[in-house]
Chain A
Amino acid sequence: DAGVIQSPRHEVTEMGQEVTLRCKPISGHDYLFWYRQTMMRGLELLIYFNNNVPIDDSGMPEDRFSAKMPNASFSTLKIQPSEPRDSAVYFCASSLGGGNTIYFGEGSWLTVV
C-alpha cells in the first residue's frame, strides 16, 4: 500500500509568494496531521484533522498559515505571504484512530529566500 504522499518534495520560493503544500493520507486513515521541523524548534504539530474536520490548530504559527481538508484523501497547507523564517521541512502524517501509530510522509522541504 502507498504511504502518505506529499508534494512538492522541494520548493524554493521568494519572500511574499504563496506556497501550497499537498498531502494524501494513507487510504482509510481518519486522522491527518501537519508537522513542521526546524533545527531551532524541532518537530512541532501545526494542526490536525479528524474525518476532514480541523480539531486543533493551536500550533499554527500565525494567520499567514491555513490548512484545509476538503475530502478524506487530500489536504493542503498554505502559507501566504511566505517569509524566510518559514523555511523548514513540513511533514504530513496520518493514523487510523486517535492516539494510534502515526505514519509520516517524506516531507516537503521549503526554502523561502
Chain B
Amino acid sequence: GIQVEQSPPDLILQEGANSTLRCNFSDSVNNLQWFHQNPWGQLINLFYIPSGTKQNGRLSATTVATERYSLLYISSSQTTDSGVYFCGGPGGGADGLTFGKGTHLIIQP
C-alpha cells in the first residue's frame, strides 16, 4: 500500500478562522477519502475525492492526483470542527484504506 503523510500534526485556531489540512501520498491514487473523528471517537466520512474539487458547506477538498496530494479546507471554523482529521488512500489490499496519522484540530471559542 501507499504511504500517507498528513500535515500539520496539530493545529489550534480561534473560532471563525480558516484552515488548510494537507495529505501527501507516495503513489498515484484512485481512492482518496477524508474523515473527521469527533471527540467522542466517531469517524465520519467527509469526502470521497480521488481527483478534483468538492464542497460541502464550510468544508471543501481538492485532490491533485498528478502531484500526489489532497487538501481539506475548513472555513469559518466552529468549535464543533474540533477533532482529528484523517485522510486515507488505497492500501491494505485492493479495496481497503491506508490512513495517515491525522491532524489534531482544536478550535477555541
Contacts and interface: CB of A to CB of B under 8 A. Distances in A.
A89 B41 contact: yes
Contacts of B86: 43
Interface in A74-88: none
B11 interface: no
Interface of B: 30-31, 33, 35, 41-45, 48, 86, 88, 90-102
B93 A56 contact: yes
The A interface, classified by DSSP as helix, strand, loop or mixed, is strand
A104 B43 CA distance: 6
A58 B92 CA distance: 8
Interface string A38-80: 0000110100101000011011000000000000000000000
Contacts of B43: 91, 93, 104, 107
